[in-house]
Structure 1
Amino acid sequence: MVLLKLLHSGCVLSSTLRWCYHSQVTCNNTCRGPEAWGQVFQRCSGRSQSPVNIVTRRLVLDERLTPFHLTGYQERFHSSLLNNGHTVQLDLPSSIRIKGGNLPTSYKALQVHLHWGKDGGLGSEHTIDGERFSMEMHIVHIKEEYDSLAQAERDRAGVAVLGFFFQESASANKKFDTLINALKYIQQPSNTTLKGVSLGMLTPSPNNMTKYFRYEGSLTTPNCAEAVVWSLFEKAIPLSREQLAAFSQLRFSDGQRMVRNYRPVEPLNGRQVYYSGGQAAPASTALLIMSVLVSSARYLHTALRTHEL
């Protein structure tokens, strides 16, 4: 749609291969917006692309989606915080691991980045029943056997991303102060060192990470490799409007304000989205509870008839 608007306005499209977001495309900056990614990056035209709209009435409950085992999420570390021209990215120690949640193997952490709107407005990539959230955070992991994202992209399940939604709150979330205060040092594409931070500071407590959505998809930026096992948590993280707006002070690589850096939703094309449902009792436990209730009911019925009560 952005390309059509440019054509109708008389703008001349260049042959640049540089990709960008909707908010960057103008007559003076004819970079390749999301609708044109597939013209340059073939994988972006695949049938298992991300993000998607999650329709709750079409979810399928999957009891195999058990809580994750998180290793190193509470450990503090020093690392590079980077404005890479498209988003803000925090590199993660490879000692951080996840397993469980019906993942095929253990995965090691690579980096965490975010997608947002404008001045605290709506800006998540995934939507739920058509509703967009204020922001979305992606913690990117790759299978332990791989040395790089490039290697993991060749495997349909080589990448595991934990996704978190954000919602506006009346008060500030102090756990994010370290990250948000550091943004002023990387408003232009550059990097700084973030000290004393942990993933536990940026994510909900493990008790609030039992309900999540699962589907197979892709990276949400070129090259859009369809190699991602997505887990999107239902519990949203609160941030104040001021905290959310701080991300909009960053600058893209072209110098424009870094706003609305999200890809529009892609069609599911027959893919199923599953739901964990939280820590539901195993079927065997449920049957045991039912048996006890039935036995108790029978006892009460017998006792009443024989006047034992």
Structure 2
Amino acid sequence: MQPLIPILLLASLWTTCAEAGDWCYQSQFTCDRQCNAPEKWSEVNDNCKGRFQSPINVVTRKTLKDERLTPLQFDNYQQIFRGAIKNNGHSVEVGVPHLSTVSGGRLPGTYKAVQFHLHWGNNGGPGSEHTIDGEQYPMELHIVHMKQQYTDLKTALSDSEGVAVLGFFYERSNSVNRRYDPIINALKSIRTTNENISLPPISLAQLIPTKQNLTSYYRYKGSLTTPGCTEAVIWTLFESPIPLSRDQLRAFSDLKFNDGKAMVGTFRPVQPLNGRQVYRSGGPVLLTSSTFIMAAMVTALALSQLN
């Protein structure tokens, strides 16, 4: 888990530094670089102090199973396209032609893909925005969609259910994920803000787990995770992680923020639930916790002794 900066330390930083300007991540904040760190994002946009903000920590034992959360329908996710990858000063972003859509799984309509971007830590360390039972993964992918009837994201965000974001976690693997070669290889060409380069032909399907590994997910209502923090997002967080090698994860830390600092720690801290319910799909729950494994072993041993 990423250590939390004590509130008193943050308060002292803001006392000794002058008034901040643009928003930034905590990793960027210094007295020399006066910017609004996440605790001060409401100074940039009032929405950021709303009650239904993202990301959140998903406490699995408090999630509610919803049988209506059936497997999502992915259409044209296999479609090959040539996109451009850009360093936008806060992350890397790839625009997507509005051909790929997602529906079903209790989404209130069909949503078309707009773009995808990523959030990461420092050299492969903890960096996901959402956490599961307090576990922070190395990186998180967000595929942003808007309702099919809208033509731009700004208009979609005026609808309380106008945007659907699919979130995917990454895990460190001992082997290289060749499906990500186009993304990883392009990073060296976009190290500074506003640099962009065309990608080789790719598809959204090659970047995410296979269809059979997309049945288990969490669902909740939240917001954008950067200013303006608009609360118009239906979040779907998939349990099955995407493997990347250590070097692949580390490659993202070679990028630079718009202030020239190393682009690391590009995540917003988790936000309060404020009474929201997190639902889980009817798919099989992935029991990755050592606690669950131990419990299963104890149960099996007890049963064997009864026979």
TM-score (normalised: structure 1): 0.87
Deviation at residue 279 of structure 1 after TM alignment: 7.0
Counting matched residue pairs gives 277
Measure the CA separation in 2 of the matches of 1:88 and 1:15: 24
1:1-309 superposed matches below 5 A: 1=7, 3-7=10-14, 10=16, 12-16=17-21, 18-189=22-193, 190-278=195-283
Cα deviation digits, residues 17-48 of structure 1 (max 9, x gap): x1000000001001001000012211000000
Q: 1:148 to 1:132 in 2, by over 3 A?
A: same
Letter in 1 for 2:60: T
CA contact (8 A) 2:68 2:282 kept: no
Instruction: For residues 241-263 of structure 1, give each alpha carbon's deviation from its aligned partner in whole angstroms, at most 9, with x where no partner exists.
Output: 11000000000011100000000
**Contact 2:57/2:270, CA 8 A, preserved across alignment:** yes
Offset of residue 78 of structure 1: 0.4
SS across alignment from 2:201: strand
How well do the aligned residues superpose, as a CA RMSD in angstroms?
Answer: 1.3
* Matching residue of 1:294: none
One-letter code aligned to 2:12? K
Partners of 1:202 and 1:40 lie apart in 2 by 33
User: Does the 8 Å CA contact 1:79/1:193 hold for their aligned counterparts?
Assistant: yes
For residue 166 of structure 1, report the CA deviation from its aligned partner: 0.5
Give, in whole Å, the separation in 2 of the partners of 1:184 and 1:216. 36
Report the identity percentage.
53
How far apart, in 2, do the equivalents of 1:90 and 1:56 lie? 31
Q: Report the CA distance between 1:277 and its aligned residue.
A: 2.9
**What is the CA distance between 1:75 and its match in structure 2?**
1.4
CA contact (8 A) 1:66 1:279 kept: no
Between the aligned partners of 2:14 and 2:172, the Cα distance in structure 1 is 37
Partners of 2:20 and 2:36 within 8 A in 1: no
State how far apart, in whole Å, the 1-side matches of 2:39 and 2:20 are.
Answer: 15
Gap regions ≥5 residues in structure 1: 281-309
Alpha-carbon separation, structure 2, partners of 1:259 and 1:115? 9
User: For 1:134 and 1:96, how far apart are their aligned partners in 2?
Assistant: 27
Aligned to 1:301: none
Partners of 1:178 and 1:15 lie apart in 2 by 37
8 Å CA contact 1:107–1:144 kept in 2: the answer is yes
Take 1:138 and 1:70, find their aligned partners in 2: how far apart are those partners? Answer: 15
**Structure 1 residue 88 displacement after superposition:** 0.4
For 1:202 and 1:138, how far apart are their aligned partners in 2? 11
Q: Per-residue CA shift, 1:156-212, capped at 9, x if unaligned?
A: 110000000001111111111111001011001111101211111100001000000
Matched residue type, 1:99? S
Give unmatched runs, 5+ long, in structure 2.
1-6, 286-307
